[in-house]
Structure 1
Amino acid sequence: MSRSAAAQRYAEALYDVAKAHGEEAVIEQDLREVKKVLEANPEFFEMFASPKLDTQDKQKIIRELFAGANGHVLNMLLLVTEKKRTDEVPDIADEFIRLSYENRGIAEATVYSTRFLTESEAAAISESFSRKVGKQALRIENVVDPSLIGGLRVQIGNRIYDSSVSSKLESLQRQLIGRSTKL
């Protein structure tokens, strides 16, 4: 997903403030919640794009809606509203999380399996694959895919590690078909 330069600047500024106050984890969690709220309510963006509401009214709504959020997150939301960049908030959240992960040596991974992983299985996968990509840990999103038949497929960035039964069967099929055409 491409992010605008403005979203990157807002995220970097917010991350600098969070780091200075030792609040990276709290702000990251609040940004995840803000993003969930915004994604679940697309009409929110429509309302904020409307010229019928002035900036002060929009900021009042934000203060009420996100009253429990960290003060720095709330200030960022008020600022982007004033600058008419409310539509950038999800990208700001994503960029903040990326910066946070980068600074903590964490990579995001998607693990495809035939069933949900247990916590110990996810921890073992994180430990094993984080070393392969030079990170300290992985934040794993587990996706259940019964078509794998067995095994795992792990995607970290643009790298894919596939030890699924279905991929091994496909490989075997290609080998067998290749041999039969040579006979």
Structure 2
Amino acid sequence: MSNKAVANRYAVALFELGQEKGQVDQFESDLELVREVFNETPELLKVLRLPGLPLEQKQELLTRSFENNVHQTVFKTISRLLELGRFMIIPELAQEYKQLNDEIKGIAEANVYSAKPLSDDEKQQIAVVFAPKVGKRALEINNIVNKELLGGIKVRVGDRVFDGSVKGQLDRLEKGLLAGN
């Protein structure tokens, strides 16, 4: 089974526990914290990967790092993943969990490509305009600067793309001219 599939199974189970306990958002922020610690502390991952280090010592390291910083249910989950040798799926687990929570809330992630960085007001306006177009209540905007666009924006939400960039308009004009339209 792929890491993504395993991460999804754990995310669904943890999400259901979060719903039962009324801690869905807390679990999401805790998973994000664990993911950030792993990303920013590669030494921790190296130690946890050492085959010669006993599981008890690895668990102790995990306990000192997270037990008092995350909800007990999240801690038990990452501890169990360590026991099973699957702690490397934690970044994917955090992402899958966030997607489940966002889906329930009606939130989607949008990549907005622009020729220059967007202001917070511009991001908010884009979210307000495009959220209903993709059937969501809100959008989380990730601004990606791409100087090749010349102007305008290109919005990608999931597999839907809305291209209002000058480059996109020029490309469509070129195709039309070449097709004889």
- Tell me, yes or no, whether TM beats 0.5: yes
Q: For each residue in 1:83-141, what CA deviation from the matched residue of structure 2 results, as whole angstroms up to 9, or x when unmatched?
A: 21111111111110111011111111101112222222212211211111111111111
Distance in structure 1 (CA, Å) of the matches to 2:46 and 2:56? 17
Distance in structure 2 (CA, Å) of the matches to 1:3 and 1:80? 12
1:156 aligns with 2:154: no
Distance in structure 1 (CA, Å) of the matches to 2:116 and 2:88? 36
1:109 aligns with 2:110: yes
- Counterpart position of 1:23: 23
Deviation at 1:174, TM superposition (A): 3.1
RMSD (Å) for aligned C-alpha atoms: 2.0
Distance in structure 2 (CA, Å) of the matches to 1:102 and 1:58? 34
Q: Secondary structure of the residue that 1:4 maps to in structure 2?
A: helix
Range with bigger deviation, 116-125 or 153-162: 116-125
Deviation at 1:3, TM superposition (A): 4.6
- Counterpart position of 1:69: 70
Deviation at 1:4, TM superposition (A): 3.5
Distance 1:4 1:149, change over 3 A: closer
Q: Secondary structure of the residue that 2:131 maps to in structure 1?
A: helix
Range with bigger deviation, 160-169 or 109-118: 109-118
Please, which runs of 5 or more residues in structure 2 have no aligned partner?
A: none
Matches within 5 A, 1:27-46: 27-46=27-46
- Counterpart position of 2:145: 144
Q: For each residue in 1:64-88, what CA deviation from the matched residue of structure 2 results, as whole angstroms up to 9, or x when unmatched?
A: 2224222222121111111211111
1:122 aligns with 2:123: yes
Q: TM-score, normalising length from structure 1? A: 0.87
Please, which runs of 5 or more residues in structure 1 have no aligned partner?
A: none
CA contact (8 A) 1:26 1:70 kept: yes
| Corresponding pairs, count | 179
Structure 1 runs of 4+ with >6 Å offset: none
Distance 1:147 1:76, change over 3 A: same
State percent identity of aligned pairs. 35
Distance in structure 1 (CA, Å) of the matches to 2:79 and 2:55? 9
AA paired with 1:118? S
1:92 aligns with 2:93: yes
